[in-house]
Structure 1
Amino acid sequence: ACREIEQSLQDLTGASLEEGMGATMSEDEDEGPPMIMEAAPMDMSSNGHDMMGFGPLVPTDTERSLMERVRQELKIELKQGFKSRIGDVREEILRKRRAGKLPGDTTTILKQWWQEHAKWPYPTEDDKAKLVEETGLQLKQINNWFINQRKRNWHNNSQTSTLKSKRKRCS
């Protein structure tokens, strides 16, 4: 079982366990009674217990460099694996930042139509098709612009007409 773990670690990191840990079990050590290996000096916990599950484990410099190398390799692999998705998300964020205001020349065309049809600001399908050609916008953008414009315009008109009617009552 230990050899399988060692092999998996070597396949993953490209380093043998000897390089990373300093000591490992070898085939020679399988024979005979288990031996206690010397390890790096152990930290003692606040109550004086050793590393037999009671105190913190401090990695050696070699272990730290191996862990850092593995971290960097994983980071590179993840970046490569998710590169296209990261690009898609970045593009979507930039697109949403750009969204919001239409170019001035297109709003001029839409406002002109609005003023010409102020009594009934609902463009027909033919009107919308013509506006799509003139502005280069999508039909959905045209529809949304008119919806928003009616809300803005009618909201302002309803406030001013309400004020006028209140003034008339007070006079």
Structure 2
Amino acid sequence: MRWWHIDPVLSLEERLFPEDAWSAGMFWSELAHARGSARTRHYVVALRPDGKLAGYAGLAAAGQSADVQTIAAAPELHGTGLGTRLLRELLDAATAFGSQEVFLEVRTDNEPAQRLYRRHGFEPLGVRKNYYQAAGMDALVMRRDNTRQPPGPAPAGHRPPA
């Protein structure tokens, strides 16, 4: 992800997460930590063949752990394997950072995302009440032992846009 992706990312962010959308400043801050020798972030975008945004994802690393900060695919691309490709990219980055465990939070009502994470070795740890405050939703906290697992299964079926 580069600075010129922020506007299309914000558009998709607001479409997918209207109550909890990140601001431009939040993305700028994350990208500032994704460059240089003290790099602690990894942010990527997936583009359609016409150059338009298909999805994005981000990871923060600290010490021996990492956190999936965000992952999103355009709704019309759900079920194409794009989410799997984005997650695998983040898991590869976590390995490159030397992260032995990877954490994430996911809305308790987002079953498709929870299934994706379970397929990639994430296990539930607990619930954070009212984590998504604007929506009044709880978050399921999940953890993956990154020392014992490969990045995950290849997506089945269709090949998503690159």
Task: Give the strand-richer structure, 1 or 2.
Answer: 2
The structure that has the greater radius of gyration is 1
Same structural fold, with TM-score higher than 0.5 when normalized by the shorter chain = no
Q: Using structure 2 for the length normalisation, give the TM-score.
A: 0.20
Q: Which has the higher helix share?
A: 1
Q: What TM-score do you get using the length of structure 1 for normalisation?
A: 0.19
